[in-house]
Amino acid sequence: MTALERLAGLSAGHALDRLPCVPIVGNTAARVIGVRTSEIRHSAELLARAQVAAYRRFGYDVVRVFTDLYVQAEAMGAKVRVPDDETAYLQAPAISSAGEVGQLKPADPKTDGWLPTHLEAAARVAQELAGEVAVTAAVTGPFTTASFLVGAETLAKWVLREPALVHQLCELALETALRWSDVLIDAGVTPSITEPMLSSTVVSPRQFQAFGLPYLARLVGHIHARNKSVTLHICGKTQRVWSFMADSGADCLSIDNDADLAAAKGVVGDRVRLMGNVPPVAVMYEGDPAAVRQAVRTCVREAGNSPRGLVVATGCSLPTETPFTNIDAMIRAVEEIGWPPRVEDDVHA
């Protein structure tokens, strides 16, 4: 089966050869073609080549063009530090005071920051892998982008003190996300939302409802209107907001390893497909193939029979230096389980 057939079959409830498997490969793709992470971030040709090569090397079931969370915020004025060969990080938010919010503008993905480069990269990947595998690109969610525009700590305080300003920032970030999604879809790429700042590790479920859900629902609705399905990833603890995540309309929830996949199956498994949640650091980066195999079997035991399907995935993007042997082991472990996706041994584990 091709990756596309596997995903379509999972949605349709058909028998498959195995569950889809997605080790979320971001900057690790640079290692596959032997270049530095800063090179793939700033070259459409290299970013595309790295992602295609990583897909061909490992044979997973969804390609996700992603280097870091900041590309949209950067296009709106946030300062991003791009180390030569490590993941980029936020150097300074776009603004530092309430008075400056009015100066911000949504980004134009055709001209601003590195969005044109990432768009071209995603378009190239989609073209090259058309008919074979779903090609997605990361869309950073409105609340998370808002945190990069004004700084996470300021945003957290404004949630309680200046809610109107938070909404204003989320509107601006949403407009950027809508435009970014549109050009991606035009290029044959499926937007994939990541919204780590809405984690219950950061904000309360009520704050999620007030400042996250309305914008996510509009973003998901917009993408649905263009006939694309949407995966929503939120890092960290999410158990208390799973139902809100499903309320956003997202078709698939990507669950971090900080959260319990079996519980997720019970709470929202009948509403959305689940994706998760092999620990990316403790198992994929620091562990060995045997640990990876165990973690995969645990995921499948917990949620392999989730009503709307399970994609065996990592709980978050992989660290850049994740050993290739562990990524191989993850896919091998899913193949070993095969179909039906049942794990009954490991009583000793």
Place of tokens 């993007």: 317
Question: Which of the ranges 13-21, 129-137, 152-160, 245-253 carries the binding residues for another protein, by CB under 8 A?
Answer: 152-160
What span, in angstroms and rounded, lies between the C-alpha atoms of 62 and 81?
28
Q: Which of 2, 96, 204, 243 binds another protein (CB under 8 A)?
A: 204
Query: Closest distance between another protein and the C-beta of residue 157, in Å?
Result: 5
Q: Which of residues 207-236 bind another protein (CB under 8 A)?
A: 207, 235-236
What span, in angstroms and rounded, lies between the C-alpha atoms of 333 and 6?
16
Category of 199 on φ-ψ map: left (φ > 0), alpha (ψ -120 to 50) or beta: beta
SS3 call for 266: helix
- If binding is defined by CB under 8 A, does position 245 make contact with another protein? no
Structure-token pair, residue 142: 């409105």
Q: Which is nearer to another protein, 180 or 208 (CB)?
A: 208
Q: What's the longest Cα–Cα distance across the chain? A: 61
Q: Which is nearer to another protein, 86 or 171 (CB)?
A: 86
Question: Which of the ranges 39-47, 136-144, 186-194, 281-289 carries the binding residues for another protein, by CB under 8 A?
Answer: 281-289
- If binding is defined by CB under 8 A, does position 157 make contact with another protein? yes
Q: Which of 15, 160, 347, 349 binds another protein (CB under 8 A)?
A: 160
> Helix (H) and strand (E) counts for the chain?
15, 10
Opening angle at CA 52, ends 341 and 304, nearest 5 = 10
- If binding is defined by CB under 8 A, does position 39 make contact with another protein? no
Closest to 97 measured CA to CA, from 145, 169, 176: 169
SS3 call for 323: coil
Q: Which of residues 161-180 bind another protein (CB under 8 A)?
A: 161
Q: Are strands 252-255 and 231-234 parallel, antiparallel or unpaired?
A: parallel
Opening angle at CA 72, ends 70 and 78, nearest 5 = 65
- If binding is defined by CB under 8 A, does position 285 make contact with another protein? yes
Please state, as a whole number, how many other Cβ atoms lie within 10 Å of the Cβ of residue 111.
Answer: 9
Write each residue from 59 to 98 as x if it is in contact with another protein (CB under 8 A), else as -, in one continuous string: ----------------------x-x--xx-xxx-------
Q: Which of 13, 56, 105, 153 binds another protein (CB under 8 A)?
A: 153
Q: Which of 137, 178, 203, 331 binds another protein (CB under 8 A)?
A: 203
Opening angle at CA 185, ends 181 and 187, nearest 5 = 120
What span, in angstroms and rounded, lies between the C-alpha atoms of 102 and 132?
44
Q: Which of 105, 282, 338, 339 binds another protein (CB under 8 A)?
A: 282
Question: Which of the ranges 102-110, 125-133, 149-157, 223-231 carries the binding residues for another protein, by CB under 8 A?
Answer: 149-157
Q: Is the peptide bond before 340 cis (omega within 30 degrees of 0)?
A: yes
Q: Which is nearer to another protein, 14 or 161 (CB)?
A: 161
Write each residue from 290 to 329 as x if it is in contact with another protein (CB under 8 A), else as -, in one continuous string: -----------------------------xx---------
Backbone angles phi, psi at 264, to 5 degrees: -60, -40
Q: Residues binding another protein: what is the number (CB under 8 A)?
A: 30
Q: Which is nearer to another protein, 87 or 190 (CB)?
A: 87
Interface with another protein (CB under 8 A): 81, 83, 86-87, 89-91, 152-153, 156-157, 159-161, 200, 202-204, 207, 235-237, 240, 280-282, 285-286, 319-320
